Amino acid sequence: MALWLVRAGRTGEREDFVLEHGLAAVGWDELPDLASIHSKEDLERLFRATYSGDGPGRIANHVGQVWAFRDRMKDGDLVALPLKKRAAIALGRVKGPYQFRPDLPGGVRHTRPVEWLRQDLPRSAFDQDLLYSLGAFMTVCRIERNNAEQRVRALLDGKPAPTLSTPETQTAVEPVEATAPPDLEEFALDQIRTFLGQKFRGHSFARLVSALLTAQGYRAQASPPGADGGVDIVAGRGPMGFDPPRLCVQVKSSDAPEDVKTLRELQGVMRNFGAEQGLLVAWGGFKSSVHAEARRHFFEIRLWDAGDVVKALLENYERMPEDVQAELPLKRIWSLVLEE
């Protein structure tokens, strides 16, 4: 058995579709049905004919990924899908062979059936070395370093992760992973998320969210430590905070995903406080049922997970209070992006 990284679009544009339809899918829409391709050499010839303008290195890279998806992935293998729209990773199990699906939209026609076992595991549940491997800048990649498969299976089963292998006992890495450079942006974001998760807990996390809202132009007031009456922060616009939209904020710093009960509790608090809008902030993210219900309240409630908090922080860092900047020292850098 193996663990595979399979992405769902550069910006996650296909992730909702594949999760809903029980699929893993790759692009390369110009390629025909690959069911009759029985060797990597045949696939390479097809690539050269289809993408005649691509150089040898690019073709070799893409052939390796598509062949892994078409042939090397086996029933029972695990699939990891790092989500772009929230700070979570979906995990599933391959349930069948490659299928070409011309009935599906572009980008999801080369498919493998997958039973998605978890769609809401927060990135904070994964060790940093696993996040580094899952940040490989490729569409398809086998993840094998440091007992990755055994550790992810243990994570799925709610068991302690196995001890890491030493370099002498570690299984050789598949070439498709060895050629995969990391996504440096995602790696940096994971480092920031890890630091925030350790530094800001409980009331400190509510204080951070309050500072973020202030930086966005709200007049925010955080509840003192202790019982908060069901609301951690109230905020409004204007010099006194009286202007709409009036906002109730509930903040959860646990690593566990929140369920729909928390969302409904926030709705009740909003009515009690006369707030038109609510913000539910959960460091550990949300179960899929929460996202489904929140869509029905689009003009009333917003959800922030760890990724949204980090995004808001980076957008407003220069306007954050000096004490927060001192606790969380960040520096903007430029990096050359080599996607191939």
Model confidence over 106-133: pLDDT tens digits? 999 999 999 999 988 888 888 888 998 8
**pLDDT per position as a tens digit, 276-286:** 999 999 999 99
- CA 265/CA 244 separation, integer angstroms: 22
DSSP class of residue 258? Answer: B
Comma-separated ranges of CATH 3.40.1350.10 domains in the chain: 196-327
* Confidence (pLDDT) at 165: 52
pLDDT at 175 over 50: no
Is it the case that residue 296 has pLDDT exceeding 60?
yes
Q: Is the pLDDT of residue 166 over 60?
A: no
Architecture of the domain whose range is 3-182: Roll (3.10)
Residue 122 · residue 105 · CB < 8 Å? no
CA dihedral defined by 104, 107, 108, 109, rounded to 10 degrees?
Answer: 70
Kindly report, residue by residue over 186-211, the tens digit of the pLDDT: 888 888 988 998 899 889 999 999 99
- pTM attached to this predicted model: 0.74
Band (228; pLDDT cuts 50, 70, 90) = low
| 194, 234 Cβ separation under 8 angstroms | no
- Nearest residue to 111 via CA among 51, 35, 60: 35
CATH 3.10.590 intervals, the chain: 3-182
Residue % of the chain over a pLDDT of 70: 91
| The two structure tokens encoding residue 252 | 């959860």
Q: Band of the pLDDT at 36, cuts 50, 70, 90?
A: very high
Yes or no: say if 139 and 65 are a contact pair by the CB < 8 Å rule: yes
Q: What are phi and psi of 216, to 5 degrees?
A: -85, 0
Q: How far apart are the first and last CA of the chain?
A: 28
**CA angle, corner 12, sides to 117 and 44, nearest 5?**
90
Percent of the chain at pLDDT > 90 equals: 67
Q: Looking at the predicted structure, is the pLDDT value of residue 162 above 80?
A: no
309, 285 Cβ separation under 8 angstroms: no
Residues 254-267, mean pLDDT to the nearest whole number: 92
Task: Give the pair of three-digit tokens for residue 241.
Answer: 């905070």
* Residue 88 neighbours by CB under 8 Å, 6+ apart: 119, 120, 121, 122, 123, 257, 285, 305
Q: Using CB atoms within 10 Å of the CB of residue 339, give its burial: 0 to 12 exposed, 13 to 18 middle, 19+ buried.
A: exposed
CATH number, span 196-327: 3.40.1350.10
pLDDT confidence of residue 54: 92
* Burial class of residue 274 in the structure, from the number of CB atoms within 10 Å of its CB (0-12 exposed, 13-18 middle, 19+ buried): exposed
The one-letter amino acid at 305 = D
CA gap 278, 299 in Å, rounded:
10
Q: How confident is the model at residue 340 (pLDDT cuts 50, 70, 90)?
A: very low
| 249 touches 279 (CB < 8 A) | yes
